[in-house]
Chains A and B, each alone.
Chain A
Amino acid sequence: MTALRAEVHQVSKKMGRAQALKRVDAVFGAGEVHGIIGPNGAGKTTLIRLLAGLLHPDQGQISYAEEKDALSGSQAKRVTGYFPQEPSLYPDLTCEEHLEFFRDLYDLPQAEFAQRSEELLRATGMTPFKDRPAGKLSGGMYKKLGLMCVLLNRPKLLLLDEPTVGVDPVSRQELWDLVYGFAGENMTVILSTSYMDEASRCACVHVLSGGEMLDSGTPKEVMKRFNITDFSEIFLNHESK
Chain B
Amino acid sequence: MAYTPDKPKLPESTEQLRARIPGWGADLDPADRPSVPQEVFDPDFSGAHWEFPERQPERWPRERSIEHKFVTPVFGTACPPRGLSGAIRRYSYAKFSEGRAAHWLLLLAADRVDVAESVLRSLASRHPDNPITQTGVRAELSHHGLRSRLGQNRADVVHHPLDPIIVAAPWIAGAGLAYVLVRRVVSRRP
Q: Is B one of A's binding partners? A: no
